[in-house]
């Protein structure tokens, strides 16, 4: 499994955060966006575990995303990053809002989604790296530019 080339670092959970509320029906609210960022930052430093989905025992990228959306928004996402990508409403990268998902092709098949992160604003995502666990990374790093596949907005009730 390919790893995400990111660095662990200590992060203030509220630094530089401004909700970018979406108002269209069926999208998450500004309050939910803030809660997603807060919860995602609680996962920082969680160890990587393929197939995992807990802060205590470890998580992979899609497991973390699945758990955060279930806890914060009561939305049941599919388990794999590929299925999560199909579940979301596709959006242009320039239209990313806090809470949107960003998908990457990090495996040998350059067209097959294999990684997901939660967009937290200011060009940053929180995701679970196979080599470093849950970290915050810039989507403008060369690795993420090269492996970027698509972005999606999670539909809500």
Taking all residues of the chain, what is their mean pLDDT, rounded to a whole number?
Answer: 86
Q: Which of 53, 88, 105, 127 is catalytic?
A: 127
- E-strand ranges in 45-88 read 53-54, 58-59
Whether the Cβ atoms of residue 135 and residue 7 lie closer than 8 Å to each other = yes
Residue 3: predicted pLDDT:
42
Q: Which residues touch 24 (CB under 8 Å, ≥6 apart)?
A: none
List, for residues 41-82, the tens digit of each pLDDT value.
999 999 999 999 999 999 999 999 999 999 999 999 999 999
Q: Which of 4, 105, 115, 149 is catalytic?
A: 115
Can 4 be counted among the known catalytic residues?
A: no
Can 61 be counted among the known catalytic residues?
A: yes
Can 149 be counted among the known catalytic residues?
A: no
Residues of the chain above pLDDT 70, percent: 83
Residue 157: predicted pLDDT:
67
For CA atoms 87, 71, 51, 109, the dihedral sign is positive
Residue 26: predicted pLDDT:
65
Q: Which residue has the tokens 């973390």?
A: 64
pLDDT of 5 higher than 90: no
pLDDT of 139 higher than 50: yes
Q: Which of 4, 61, 73, 105 is catalytic?
A: 61
């Amino acid at each position: 499994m390919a790893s995400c080339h990111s660095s662990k670092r200590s992060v203030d959970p509220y630094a530089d955060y401004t909700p970018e509320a979406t108002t269209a029906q069926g999208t998450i609210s500004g309050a939910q966006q803030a809660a997603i960022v807060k919860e995602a930052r609680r996962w920082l430093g969680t160890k990587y575990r393929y197939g995992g989905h807990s802060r205590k025992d470890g998580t992979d990228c899609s497991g973390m995303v699945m758990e955060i959306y279930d806890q914060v928004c009561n939305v049941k996402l599919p388990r794999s990053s590929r299925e999560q990508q199909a579940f979301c409403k596709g959006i242009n990268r320039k239209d990313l809002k806090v809470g949107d998902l960003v998908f990457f092709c990090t495996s040998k098949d350059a067209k097959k989604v294999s990684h997901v992160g939660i967009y937290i604003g200011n060009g940053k995502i929180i995701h679970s790296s196979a080599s470093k666990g849950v970290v915050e990374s810039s989507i403008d790093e060369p690795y993420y530019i090269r492996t970027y596949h698509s972005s999606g907005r999670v539909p809500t009730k």
